[in-house]
Amino acid sequence: MNKEFTNEIVLKMMPFLDNGQLKKLQEVVENVVDGYSILKSETIDTEVLDYLELFISAKRVEGCSEKTITYYEKTISSMLIKVDKGANRITTEDLREYLSNYQKENGSSKVTIDNIRRILSSFFSWLEDESYILKSPVRRIHKIKTTLSIKEAYSEEALEILRDECKEPRDIALVDFLASTGMRVGELVKLNREDIDFVERECKVLGKGDKERVVYFDARAKIHLKNYLDSRCDGNSALFVSLKAPYNRLQIGGIESRLRDIGRKCEIEKVHPHRFRRTLATVAIDKGMPIEQLQCLLGHRRIDTTLQYAMVKQSNVKASHRKYIG
């Protein structure tokens, strides 16, 4: 308790003293309280819940999706429960210890731990901006270095094998539509029949943050999508529905499960919707599409995100080396 008392005094004096003065203050306070027994009054701390609720409300107003908000709330709540302090009394050391213990107990990757750090940083930075705390304790916890792994895109051969394995008109339409639009699976499941413009080969989707954008599909996807829609006998307005009555709108889990089954049958590993998106980005970069246009097509807010999706083919790097360097 003495250490917590000292840390709280130092934290409150941070705006007024430099590092040397803070260090001296800490030494003085530690010497003064040494030998004393400091007891904290047992009061119910309702601020933990209040701060989190205020932060979540702010994120909801900013337009974050419910999925993102739930992730934020779960991550921050777990930390507050484990650290067992009010948010305005949590120190950098508390958070470092929490992240270290979390990694050991759960065997989490560096990517996971850095994601938690990023969310906690957002929370405490918001508290600082709103003047609930003087300084975010995450400031001195730097971004965790992670190993950059190359996530593979589908080869042209793999895509053809997937198409050949599709026995239902819906499945071939689904594969071609994902491959040519590069849209998120969460955007796909919201589409209705009337959203499709077959003349212009385009459609409007509602992306992250409820931002609307136009995506495009190729002639192959147009043909297979028209064939699928013409074969349907249901009255559901959804673009993609289940194969059996009552022909409900396909959800994310249903699409992921179906693609896994198709991949398993033709012995292609890691078949999932997001890989089609990464493939489109890789092909577009490979064929010379300007990165700014690809960013617009994929609906990314930051161009750095777009660059992470695109994997440059090593064969093209080799060819460019011979062309420009010799």
The first and second tokens of residue 194, run together, are 């009337």
pTM: 0.67
The first and second tokens of residue 249, run together, are 């709108």
Q: What angle do CA 204, 208, 212 make, to 5 degrees?
A: 25
CATH 1.10.150 fits 47-129, yes or no: yes
Q: What pLDDT score was predicted for residue 147?
A: 67
In the predicted model, what is the mean pLDDT of residues 161-178?
Answer: 96
Question: Any idea where the domains of the chain sit in the sequence?
Answer: 2-33, 47-129, 156-321
Is residue 46 predicted with pLDDT exceeding 50?
no
Please, which pLDDT band fits residue 49 given cuts at 50, 70 and 90? very low
- What percentage of the chain reaches a pLDDT higher than 90? 60
Q: Which of 108, 146, 133 lies closest to 55, judged by CA?
A: 133
SS3 192: strand
Lowest average pLDDT, out of 20-29, 33-42, 46-55, goes to 33-42
- For 81-128, the pLDDT digits (tens) are 999 988 888 999 999 999 999 999 999 999 899 999 999 999 999 999
* CB distance 273 to 255 below 8 Å: yes
Q: What pLDDT score was predicted for residue 184?
A: 94
- The listed CATH number (1.10.10.60, 1.10.443.10, 1.10.260.40, 1.10.10.10) that belongs to domain 156-321: 1.10.443.10
What is the rounded CA–CA span in Å between residue 62 and residue 86?
Answer: 25
Is residue 151 predicted with pLDDT exceeding 80?
no
Is residue 129 predicted with pLDDT exceeding 60?
yes
Q: What pLDDT score was predicted for residue 234?
A: 94
Chain position carrying tokens 């003065």: 21
Please, which pLDDT band fits residue 40 given cuts at 50, 70 and 90? low
The first and second tokens of residue 142, run together, are 């730097």
Is residue 274 predicted with pLDDT exceeding 80?
yes
Quote the mean pLDDT of the chain: 87
